[in-house]
A and B are shown apart, each in its own frame.
Chain A
Amino acid sequence: MADIVLQGFLVGGLYALVALGFVLIFKSSQVLNLAYGEMIAILSYFLYFLLDSLEFPLGVAILLMFVAGAGLGFLVERSFIRPLVGQPFLALLMMTLMLMFLFKGIMVLIWGGESYSFTFAPEGMYELGGVSILPSALWAFAAAIFVFLLLAFLFRYTKIGLAMRVVAADHAVSQSLGIKVKRIFSLSWVISGVFAAVCGILLGLVTMITPTMGDIGLGKGLVVLLLGGMTSIPGALVGGLILGLAEALGGYYWTDLREIIPWILMLFILIVRPWGMFGERRIERI
């Protein structure tokens, strides 16, 4: 039983990591980036390509991947999101959905339906209280905590974080306060691109690089986001852990139930507490 719970927590950390990418964009620009999962997947493939086909050393490849992530975020914001500023929320939602298709198509076009795995994955197993766990899963969990702390710090203590929150609240007000709305948008997308790269490495280590790995964005990240409340950073972490635990336990009792648990949890939270566990109570805005 202990191993089930532990596994659940570790997977939950991964979900939280994905959800934090959603929170960052949503908190700063009120855009729900449904293409985030595919961004993770495409960056993961890109890293594999750098390592395997071009044979870059690991450090350089990861650095290049971060740069590519930042570039991807910037490009997406500049060419697809910015023209829609001021449009209804659902137009932006459709746009990111279509970007999801676009990325998936490009990914399939370049790398086909093949699955790969990173060769630099650490060997062996860790022992933790009599339970053996994958080292990369532990790393992913640690990374989730780190990103969580980073984001919390960014939004609470830095000027940029404050500016992001103002921009999310009202474009006109922030513009008149001297905050450059467009620059904040670009910045938050660049940061989320880098986050996607981090997610890409860890996800590729824990699972494999498959064409369907991007589904984690919509299938898990979004659920966690709703569970925790759309704008809440601690909510994403707690929601991720809850989802991971629920999946592990549900899968333990009835294997087939596992894939449906996120959706049941989501429906439940939508009916009982639509603004999530830690969210702000103003759902009528959307």
Chain B
Amino acid sequence: MLPCGTFNTRPEEDLAIVRTKTQWFLIVVGLVFFVTLGLFSPEDWVVWLILLGITAIAVLGLHILTGLCGQFSMGQAAFMAVGAYTAAVFGSRYGLSPWATLPLAGIFAGLVGLLFGTPALRIKGFYLVMSTIAAQFIIIWILREWDTVTGGVFGMAVPAIKIGGEKLSDVQFWWLTLGLLVVMIILAKNIQRTATGRRFVAVRDNDLAAEVIGVNLFRTKLVAFFIGCFFAGIAGWLWAHFYTHISPEQFTFKDSLWFLGMIIVGGMGSTTGAVFGATLIRLTDKMVDYISPLLSDAFPSIGVQVFPALSLIIFALVVIFFIMIEPRGLYHRFQRLRLYYQLHPFSY
């Protein structure tokens, strides 16, 4: 919602994503903040930031597929793996430069997504969810078994990104991640505003009505699958180049469910919400890092398992909290807060 007294008098103003000077100011300040954040954070927090960026991109893809088009996917991590392996195979076996594999990673992941989206021709809702679970397990299995290409269980090395002969440092990699994240956010925001994006929303809200007004259901769902998995592929590309060694065990069913949990926490159907959700879940996960040594000191009998157990329990509790108390997610709360301050002396 725009502040009082802002009128759209020209079409360009109506189209603009960033409308007022305050918004521009906040965006520039925010970007500067996030760029410099890498310089001043301790090392493990820089790694955390990079992971957050990668997660946020994957979650944005899921936001388009699930939040906009209403097709739940429980295989996002596997599509990420497809992107990562595309980058690795083309990078190390065919010697393509990382910049050339970036679009390839996205497109390959998208194509695999299309393949597993085809059951949407006959089934929907819960049954489609099941087919994405099958996708998760089948893709990871193929990556593990096809060892002449993917290196099997042991995974494969990925050539690092080099600029001027130098490997990227963690901070530089954070800048790269941030840049890609910003591009992807703009992309996601704009997809939402196109005719395709409106078709997605129509399919989500009422697929029967959408079909009656002339939306091609099957094609729309497939496009949503392609775009959602494209995002996952880009995230996978970043993941592969950050760790420089990938194996099938890095992309588990659990991760797919975490992505789904993140958009629930953030709020379905908004780009900002997707980023919020990713941030909140990653932040709580990072907190567990700090809490669990204390707990394992206090209760030595359960010392070893505290970290994995606590991270599962806290994630589950956070998502359960949001499903029960605020199904519209963090973004809804944020908007209400913003509205409250915008209108401050008055309540309407």
A residues with CB within 8 A of B: 32, 80, 83-84, 87, 89-91, 93-95, 97-99, 101-102, 104-110, 112-113, 218, 222, 226, 256, 259-260, 263-264, 266-267, 270-271, 274, 283-284, 286
Contacts and interface: CB of A to CB of B under 8 A. Distances in A.
Interface string B275-316: 000000000000000000000000000101110111111011
Contacts of A222: 130
Interface stretch (B29-37, B38-46, B174-182, B320-328): B320-328
A80 B317 CA distance: 11
B298 to A, nearest CB: 13
B203 interface: no
Interface size range of chain B in the complex: 35 or more
A51 B71 CA distance: 46
Given A93-B72, A101-B316, A260-B141, 7 more contacts: A83-B324, A101-B254, A102-B313, A105-B316, A112-B304, A222-B130, A260-B138
B119 interface: yes
B316 A270 contact: no
Contacts of B191: none
B21 interface: no
Given A99-B316, A102-B313, A94 B264 contact: yes
A274 B123 CA distance: 7
A230 to B, nearest CB: 9
Given A108-B305, A267-B131, A270-B131, A93 B316 contact: no
B134 interface: yes
A228 to B, nearest CB: 14
A91 B129 CA distance: 13
A97, A98, A267, A284 — most chain B CB neighbours (10 Å): A98
Contacts of B324: 80, 83-84
A1 to B, nearest CB: 25
Contacts of A267: 119, 131, 134, 138
Contacts of B95: none
Given A98-B323, A270-B119, A89 B125 contact: yes
A29 to B, nearest CB: 15
A105 B309 contact: yes
A90 B261 contact: no
Nearest to A271: B119
B202 to A, nearest CB: 17
A112 B302 contact: yes
A4 to B, nearest CB: 22
Contacts of B129: 90, 93
A12 B312 CA distance: 31
Given A102-B312, A271-B122, A274-B122, A226 B260 contact: no
Contacts of B323: 84, 91, 94-95, 98
27 contacts: A83-B324, A89-B126, A90-B125, A97-B257, A98-B319, A98-B320, A98-B323, A101-B313, A102-B312, A105-B308, A105-B309, A105-B313, A108-B305, A108-B308, A108-B309, A108-B312, A110-B302, A112-B302, A112-B305, A263-B137, A264-B138, A270-B119, A271-B123, A274-B122, A274-B127, A283-B124, A284-B124
B145 interface: yes
A108 B309 CA distance: 5
For the complex of A and B, the 3 pairs showing the least CB-CB separation, nearest first, are A105-B312, A105-B313, A109-B309
A281 to B, nearest CB: 12
A270 B317 CA distance: 32
A236 B304 CA distance: 39
Contacts of A106: 309, 313
Contacts of B311: 105
A186 B138 CA distance: 37
A101 B312 CA distance: 6
Nearest to A267: B134
B160 to A, nearest CB: 32
Contacts of A91: 323, 327
B320 A80 contact: yes
B302 A226 contact: no
Given A32-B126, A264-B138, A102 B317 contact: yes
Given A90-B72, A270-B130, A105 B310 contact: yes
A215 to B, nearest CB: 9
Contacts of B305: 108-109, 112-113
Nearest to B125: A286
Contacts of A109: 302, 305-306, 309-310, 313
Contacts of A84: 323-324
Contacts of B137: 259-260, 263
B316 A283 contact: no
Given A101-B312, A104-B312, A109-B302, A266 B320 contact: no
Contacts of A102: 312-313, 316-317, 320
Nearest to B128: A270
Nearest to A97: B257
Contacts of A105: 308-313, 316
Nearest to A113: B305
Contacts of A113: 304-305
Most buried by A among B130, B145, B311: B130
B316 A98 contact: yes
Contacts of A32: 126
A205 B217 CA distance: 49
